[in-house]
Structure formats: C-alpha cells, structure tokens
Amino acid sequence: MSWLFFLILLLINMLAFYAYRKLSLMRSLSQIQAEVELEMQSRAHQLLVRRDQLEVGLVKEASEQADEQWKGDLAEYMEEFEQEALLRAKQRLTRI
C-alpha cells in the first residue's frame, strides 16, 4: 500500500515539474513576443511621424523622392510584420 502512495506522489511530482518547465518556456516566449511587438510598434510610429512631416512640409527635400522612400519603408515594414505574424502562427501550432 505504501508503494502505491509512493508511486502516485512520484507521478504527481513529475507532472508538476513538467508543467513548471512548460510554463517557464511560455513565459520567456511571451516576453520575446512582447519585445518584438514593441519594436514593430515603434517603427510604425516613426513611419507615421515621417509621413506627417512630409504632409506638413517640414521635410525640405524633394517631396516626390521622400514620398517614394516613405512608401518603400512602409512596404518593408508591412512585409516584416506579415512575416512575424506567420512565424508566430507557426510557433503556436507547433506548441499545441
């Protein structure tokens, strides 16, 4: 009878350790994702500020060239955002 209790306690301890490891992994992944989201949000804000400067006329350069550069930067940002979203979706599917 005591062996049965010992095995049950051992099984519970092993399950608790497994759950602890999974939770710590998930915590570190969510922190990395939060940092990436913050960086993407910062870049989006910089793009919007630069666009506002173009519209107001604070940028004295050739407006067409600056507008084309802004459009290129925006396209690059959107591409990186889509790639990051796809990567996150794949990571979620592999964890499940």
Residue 37 has a CB neighbour count (10 Å cut-off) of 13
CB of 51 within 8 A of CB of 57? no
Examine the pLDDT at 95 and tell me if it is beyond 70: no
pLDDT, tens digit, 9 for 90 and up, residues 26-81? 676 667 677 777 778 888 888 888 777 777 765 555 667 777 777 888 888 888 88
Mean pLDDT of 16-24: 83
Say which amino acid occupies 28.
Answer: S
Predicted local distance difference test score (pLDDT) of residue 61: 56
Predicted local distance difference test score (pLDDT) of residue 62: 60
Looking at per-residue confidence, does 88 or 16 come out higher?
16
Rounded to whole angstroms, the maximal C-alpha distance in the chain is 86
